[in-house]
Structure 1
Amino acid sequence: MTTPPVAPPLAPAPAVRLQHVGKRYGAGPVVLDDISLDIAPSEFVCLLGASGCGKSTLLNLIAGLDAPTAGTIETPAEGSAFMFQDSALMPWLTARRNIELALRLRGVPRAERGERALELLDIVSLTDAADKRPHELSGGMRQRVALARALAQDRPVLLMDEPFAALDAITRDLLHEELARVWRATGRTIVFVTHNVREAARLGQRVILLSSRPGRIAGQWRTAGADHVVLEQQITEQLRKEIRRNAA
């Protein structure tokens, strides 16, 4: 008796799907052109490119903060959480209260907010700073509070717009480790914008390089199992080609 073949399991639907997405402001030049990209659930994707290539514009489109002028974008019905370059914490609130505010806006009952805020601070290794206000925290600590606040929104997708760009190299490296640990612990889908090749290669499972003016996908790299020194060299060389092409 012949055993019928077993069908392979279906791949999960993308967490984020962009199909032929374009963006133009009024009669101005095209900012983004024909961007098609699938991002899997729990995938960590870095969007890389020179300044002005449309990385942040693309992130805003995924977040629903702006609308594309061409193509379609599919995201989870629960929406996305957004983390900016600046921590944007309420200066008169403590770290815990900043997170409780996000929980309140999400509709979490008052009785649960305090404990949940401390749990989120523990995720980013900042429980000891729960009762400190932003001016009492270092830049790196403020960004960790901002990350905990983004996690408090409990969205399946986390969008991060150069959140570590203003930090010194040592603090940035430490936060890379923190973010990788949080990502593994929470299973969030992360789309991370950066202009730093090393940061992209270190953090992302996949690096997407955007060309400049207009922004198009100029290259993609998988980082799993790659020699990061070689990978960074390859990405840097392609980035330089794009910059030279744009300057010509």
Structure 2
Amino acid sequence: MSPLREGGEPVTVTTAAGTAARLTHVTKSFGPQQVLDDISVDVAPGEFVTLLGASGCGKSTLLNLVAGLDAPTTGTIEVPGGRPALMFQEHALFPWLTAGKNIELALKMRGMPRADRTDEAERLLRLVRLRGAYTKRVHELSGGMRQRVALARALAQDSRLLLMDEPFAALDAITRDVLHEELTRVWSETNVAVLFVTHNVREAVRLAERVVLLSSRPGRVARQWEVGIPHPRRIEDADVAALSVEITEQLRGEIRRHGQH
């Protein structure tokens, strides 16, 4: 069933050849409050894009629209191959299941035969560098390990688009740094397209091929940057720092403009 706009009008959700996702003139309002205004963004197959903006600018709302968890008020969203995989800030693992069984549940929902699920779950755990963690319960895993399992579970959905909503925000700086490296490696090995929400400028620059800055509410595309810095990157790299300063100045300008209204 197609999602409906407010008022019952169908929303167009179609397939765009050559894209992982395409948003065209998307707006979103909750009652009288407009959250997003005229968002048009393409994500190419295998591209890593970060959505950056101040708190409350509509980043997570936009991600929910792409995920199909909500419908836009106007505009179209095109996602080839069905619903994308979604990874939240909280790992959302089922604590009564082992790490492997959490992944197997996603494989079951995908329709994979029971006989193949254990091997595939173990392969995905190896991909995120958690070999031997299949039988571990959630409470036995550190915060970083839980997010790795959540990433493996998202990859188990076999989508060509992975949506990530500030998945490392609750982690300490060292763990976050390690997971940046791991995510970059997994992305390069799987060639999955990633749309990653963050309010951390350096994180956005370290990870992405392209940074999209949203203005303060209502969220609009204020500016985009092609990063162009070869991997591997580090937070402290001079090129990462220089581009981060430029983007931060633009972000501060958006915040100041919002504060004047």
State the TM-score, normalizing by the size of structure 1. Answer: 0.93
User: How many residues align structurally?
Assistant: 236
Within a 5 Å distance, the mapping from 1:188-199 to structure 2 comes to 188-199=192-203
Partner of 1:88: 92
Name the CA distance, whole Å, in 2 between partners of 1:225 and 1:173.
Answer: 17
Partner of 2:247: 235
1:30 to 2:34 alignment: yes
Gaps of 5+ in 1: 1-11
1:180 to 2:184 alignment: yes
Q: Verify the 8 A CA contact 1:79 1:156 in the aligned structure 2.
A: no
Q: Verify the 8 A CA contact 1:62 1:73 in the aligned structure 2.
A: yes
Residues 119-176 of structure 1, C-alpha deviations (whole Å, 9 max, x = no match)? 0000000012221101010000000000000000101100000000000000000000
Partner of 2:155: 151
Partner of 1:18: 23
Give the alignment partner of residue 66 of structure 1, picking from 70, 87, 96.
70
> Bigger CA drift: 13-22 or 195-204?
13-22
Q: Which has the larger radius of gyration?
A: 1
State the TM-score, normalizing by the size of structure 2. Answer: 0.89
- Cα RMSD for the two superposed structures: 1.0
Q: Verify the 8 A CA contact 2:45 2:193 in the aligned structure 1.
A: yes
Partner of 1:206: 210
Q: In percent, how many aligned pairs have the same letter?
A: 67
Name the CA distance, whole Å, in 2 between partners of 1:210 and 1:231.
Answer: 17
Report deviation, 1:77: 2.9
Report deviation, 1:213: 1.1
Name the CA distance, whole Å, in 1 between partners of 2:229 and 2:71.
Answer: 37
1:77 to 2:81 alignment: yes
> Bigger CA drift: 192-201 or 126-135?
126-135
Name the CA distance, whole Å, in 2 between partners of 1:21 and 1:188.
Answer: 24
Gaps of 5+ in 2: 1-16, 231-238
Residue identity opposite 1:14 in structure 2: T
